[in-house]
Amino acid sequence: MARPTALVTGASAGFGLALSHALVERGWRVIGTARRADRLAWVSEELGEAFIAVPGDVTDPAHRSLLAETASSTGKLALVVNNASRLGPSPLSKLADYPLDELELVYRTNVLAPLAILQFALPLLMPGAGVVNISSDAAVQPYPEWGGYGSSKAALDQLTAILGAEHPELSVYAFDPGDMRTEMHQAAFPSDDISDRPEPSTVVPALLRLLAEKPANGRYAAADFAVGRAS
């Protein structure tokens, strides 16, 4: 039986790396992309031939074309996870002072790139395949200084909801993993100790449970599918 194939963006660190590990351990093949080629090469060496590294920036159309070619060469996709994200300025900035060129980059990475990836991936998805766009509680809560990142994730949530309505044959989810001990979270709070936040690997089982249970298309949080929680 052929192993299922997933496309995971932001696969060199944090949640994307933890998810790639978990999928490969479960017999998947993962096409992983990230901007840092050195880190992605390390992941490829660690995970072996089951991990196909395609380094590059998801906001670059040429890189997305390469991703599309790579995905097409592997056959049908069973899962796409748009995990790559851009936080914006660090320290975070109030909207009144937000550099608009930075905001444009945030939207390119967090909204336009996921849609562009799905536009080439949709024809490659097998019936019932999963589509996961990584969201944040900042998409629904008005946290001061989170206007750039939060509004981009709110836009991604709505995009995901509409895609789910347009493609009921797929499992389409916005997934909020909650706070995690990642570089991005540290950049959001550069002077804070974030060692009390959970490791990304502890959140992956919640996403895997979501994908296994296949609830109605929509927005879900990791807490909804925490291990030990009743369905």
pLDDT of residue 2: 81
HEC profile for 157-209? Answer: HHHHHHHHHHCCCCEEEEEECCCCCCHHHHHHCCCCCCCCCCCHHHCHHHHHH
Question: Is residue 42, in this structure, part of any structural domain at all?
Answer: yes
Torsion of CA 120, 76, 33, 29, to 10 degrees: 170
List the catalytic residue out of 98, 107, 143, 149: 149
The verdict on whether 107 is a catalytic residue reads no
Question: Is residue 76, in this structure, part of any structural domain at all?
Answer: yes
The residues pairing with 30 across neighbouring beta strands, listed in sequence order, are 6, 51
The rounded distance, in Å, linking the Cα atoms of 201 and 210 is 15
Question: Is residue 56, in this structure, part of any structural domain at all?
Answer: yes
CA distance to 49, 185, 194, 227, per residue, from 190 (Å): 36, 8, 9, 31
Question: Is residue 200, in this structure, part of any structural domain at all?
Answer: yes
pLDDT of residue 180: 57
Residues 6+ apart with CB under 8 A from 81: 6, 7, 8, 9, 16, 19, 132, 134
Task: Give this prediction's pTM.
Answer: 0.92
Domain that holds residue 200: 5-225
132 in Cβ contact with 81 (< 8 Å): yes
pLDDT of residue 66: 98
The rounded distance, in Å, linking the Cα atoms of 129 and 123 is 11
Question: Is residue 230, in this structure, part of any structural domain at all?
Answer: no
The residues pairing with 82 across neighbouring beta strands, listed in sequence order, are 133
- Structural domain count, the chain: 1
Question: Is residue 231, in this structure, part of any structural domain at all?
Answer: no
CA distance to 126, 132, 135, 222, per residue, from 171 (Å): 11, 8, 16, 16
Q: What is the pLDDT along the chain (231 residues), one digit of tens a residue?
A: 689 999 999 999 999 999 999 999 999 999 999 999 999 999 999 999 999 999 999 999 999 999 999 999 999 999 999 999 999 998 899 999 999 999 999 999 999 999 999 999 999 999 999 999 999 999 999 999 989 999 999 999 999 999 999 999 999 999 999 865 555 554 455 655 556 666 888 999 999 999 999 999 999 999 999 865 544
Question: Is residue 79, in this structure, part of any structural domain at all?
Answer: yes
Question: Is residue 173, in this structure, part of any structural domain at all?
Answer: yes
pLDDT of residue 226: 80
CATH of the domain at 143: 3.40.50.720
